[in-house]
Amino acid sequence: MQDGYYLATYIVIDEYCHAFDIVTRHDNNIALFLKENDNVSLVHYWELERLTGYKHHAYSFLNTEHAVEFINELLAEYHLTIDDMQEVWGSPKISTVNDYHSFVEMPEYAYHGLCHLYSGVLLNTEIFHNEKILAFAVDGGPEFFPKLTSAAAEQMKYYYPGCYADKGKVTHFPTNSPAQLWAYPAFRYGLQEGTLMALGSAIEFDCQKDFFRESLLIQKYDILYDTFKDLNLLFNELEDEFAKLPESQLSDRFTYEENKIAFVMCIIQQLSKEIMERNVEQALRQFDIDPEDTYLSMTGGFALNCPTNSHLMNKYKFKGFIAPPCVNDTGMSLGIGLYAFHKKHGKFNFDFQHAYYGDRDHSLDEILTKYNQFVKSHGDFIADQFLSDIKNDPIVWFNNRSEVGPRALGNRSLLADPRNEDSKTKLNIIKEREWWRPVAPLIMEQHLGQWFEDDISSPYMLQTAIVKEDKFSQVPAVLHLDKSARIQTVNQQDNEDLYQLLQIFNEDTQVPLLCNTSLNDKGEPIINKLEEAMNFALRKKIKVIYLNKVRVELDGFEQYTEQSPNPRMKQTFKRKSEYSDKLYRRINPHNLNPKYFNFLGYFPEIRTDLQKGLEDEVNTYLHQKCAEINLNTNYMFK
């Protein structure tokens, strides 16, 4: 491989998908790598949702010209274009070579799953080449393109690969993913998986019945609807069991529906842990592994399930935990790139040093000028002033490059005082979330063992720990209802400015923690640019914001009339062409609601009625199919 820049892309370029908003890949992303001899570094990581404003960005580019123009705008920061890349990987129509994937070498595994797997296994190549790693890629499953042939689909015998890497020698094996146990209830109850996870640990229930069955060991599903049918039976059984509970077991702080969902998801969390225990124990036996001498790597969307990660670490005493902050599909370009270097170059050096590979914004002077009527004052960061600010109210903290992955890791955050229970209430009001939603703590890494029962480093907020009992009263704002917290450990090397905030607060209060939640509104991606942060603060009437360590005090909120988040690229990303208009009219001559075409991948039998323009019949059929497996139609059709 030649030295130079390499681009890994996880995007879709398809006029049909663009015209009808067909979802094939979600959480699209792009990674820029630099190879110098045997050394590979990550230069920049772009998550498209941060740029376009579309949460979980799943929209296709209209054509290659559209994609190249978009990518060149990103690369311009480095005075590069796509033509300067040695190779481009990952997406049909834009990849410049066809030897970067696993289709020939490992046709039995979905390439999607292998990219997840290698985004963890190769995160630090020094560990990969000198230590032992047991790795699992556990997500919902691979993407399917409308033109994917049945033969290609048949080759994918296993969606969820695992591997055991012993000093660089890798042995793959199929594993089971609990992810569909969380995907199905999202459609059933119309709630995001993170909300379901929070509810699952919000109320303590006493249920001794064993609900495990072999059908939960999912390695592949031929038709997702059939998998959901099986899960519907399980969830019906769980809801029936909930109905038998005496009223005394329900929490009067929650609605009946919330109690029901909390009970169901509590059981699902237990089942998820049991599935992963079986995965781990089978691998330990197969490879005669000593977990205390082996790292655990978890990737795929299910790896966002912090309670399971921590459960596995505590039960088996693995040597360490390896996962990028972008464990879900936001990390696909990372995995595409690392797998390609591994396959094509052989041994190389790479270290994912921290989470902050996203965008920077140096337009503060322009922003302060543009919003001058709302700026009461601005000045340099002063420690005593920061202490006063954080003790009074939540603050906006926007600093340096953005973090990658779905969780705010301290550079695009709302921060607050963890000693005041009101902090959680204020943050949830600002974020328009349920009162019981937990707020994550930042903690100075060296103080972790003094405040939490489990002393597992968690730089990317992928572990849950129980707060020590004698500390409960000191940090009520970060306590979940079961006294746990989803922690982020911070050290000076990874994020010096964030560490300084914790240090200042600790020196004054003897509490080395701060409340942290993502800087975004309900349904909005994490804020990426300074103007978006200003828009947010003015709409939410947040008086003090820190922008690249400059303190800005705002007022005149009543004069700010904008009620919606900054649109980012929502008005410009989607395009039309003469060809796409003709395609749209040819495929949809009756001008039906395009949302129905997204269901073709699940229910191909509706194609004939769509072609005939029988919208009522299609609508009735889809509602009937959703009702058969208790899916929330408002959620499905939004």
Q: What is the mean pLDDT of residues 249-278?
A: 97
**Residues 145 and 11: beta-carbon distance below 8 Å:** no
**Rounded-to-integer distance, Cα 79 and Cα 68, Å:** 15
CA distance 398 to 27: 22
Identity of the residue numbered 427: L
> Counting beta carbons within 10 angstroms of the beta carbon of residue 147, is it exposed (0 to 12), middle (13 to 18) or buried (19 or more)?
exposed
Pick from 447, 450, 449, 425: which is nearest to 436 by CA?
425
User: Positive or negative CA dihedral for 499, 504, 506, 511?
Assistant: negative
DSSP one-letter string for 160-203 = SEEEEEETTEEEEEE----THHHHHHHHHHT--HHHHHHHHTTS
- The confidence score (pLDDT) of residue 474 equals 98
Give every CB contact of residue 270 below 8 A, 6+ residues apart in sequence: none
Condensed to tens digits (0 to 9), the pLDDT of residues 561-617 reads 999 999 999 989 988 888 888 889 988 999 999 989 989 878 889 999 999 999 999
Rounded distance between C-alpha atoms, residue 54 and residue 60, angstroms: 12
565 Cβ partners below 8 Å, 6+ apart? 53, 520, 521, 524, 532, 535, 536, 539
Phi, psi (rounded to 5 degrees) for 35: -105, 125
DSSP string, 558-625: GG----S---TTTTTS----HHHHHHHHHH-TT---GGGGGGTTT-GGGHHHHHHT-HHHHHHHHHHH
What is the mean pLDDT of the segment spanning 514-523?
97
Strand order in the sheet with 87-89: 39-47, 29-36, 4-10, 87-89
The angle, 0 to 180 degrees and rounded to 10, between the axes of the packed helices 111-121 and 332-345 is 80
Residue 207 has what pLDDT? 86
- Quickly state the pLDDT bin for 514 (edges 50, 70, 90): very high
Specify the pLDDT at position 150.
42
**Residue whose token pair is 């089971």:** 176
Residue 440, strand partner residues: 516
Give the per-residue pLDDT at 459: 98
Predicted confidence (pLDDT) per residue in 464-502, tens digit: 999 999 999 999 999 998 999 999 999 999 999 999 999
Q: In the predicted model, what is the mean pLDDT of residues 165-190?
A: 97
- Range 59-83 average pLDDT: 97
**Mean pLDDT of the region 162-186:** 97
CATH 3.30.420 fits 1-98, yes or no: yes
Task: Count Cβ atoms below 10 Å from residue 210 Cβ, excluding itself.
Answer: 10
| Residue recorded with tokens 């464990």 | 327
Do 364-555 and 1-98 fall under one CATH topology? no
- The beta strands (E) that lie in 3-131 are given as 4-10, 29-36, 39-47, 87-89
State what percent of residues in the chain have pLDDT above 90.
Answer: 88
The yes-or-no verdict on residue 176 having pLDDT over 80 is yes
Q: Is the CB of residue 293 less than 8 Å from the CB of residue 284?
A: no
| Lowest-confidence pick of 202-206, 251-255, 312-316 | 202-206
- Per residue in 385-442, pLDDT (tens digit) is 999 999 999 999 999 999 999 999 999 999 999 999 999 999 999 999 999 999 999 9
Question: Using 50, 70 and 90 to split pLDDT, how confident is the model at 144?
Answer: low
pLDDT at 148 over 80: no
Whether the per-residue pLDDT at 131 is higher than 90: the answer is yes
Task: Identify the band that residue 146 occupies on the pLDDT scale cut at 50, 70 and 90.
Answer: very low
pLDDT at 577: 81
What's the average model confidence in pLDDT over 549-565? 97
Q: Report H helices in 460-560.
A: 496-509, 530-540
Mean pLDDT of the chain: 95
Q: Is residue 189 within 8 Å of 261, Cβ to Cβ?
A: yes
Residue extents of the structural domains in the chain: 1-98, 364-555, 588-637
- Statement: residue 350 has pLDDT above 50: yes
Spell out the residues 6+ positions from residue 98 whose beta carbon is closer than 8 angstroms to its own. Answer: none
364-555 to CATH, choices 3.80.30.20, 3.40.50.720, 3.90.870.20, 2.40.160.20: 3.90.870.20
How confident is the model over 368-395, as a mean pLDDT? 98
Complete DSSP assignment for 314-338: HHH--SEEE--S--SGGGHHHHHHH
What integer pLDDT is reported at residue 152 of this predicted model?
Answer: 47
Q: What local confidence, expressed as pLDDT, does residue 149 receive?
A: 40
**In sequence order, what are the residues at sequence separation of 6 or more whose Cβ sits closer than 8 angstroms to the Cβ of residue 310?**
454, 456, 463, 464, 465
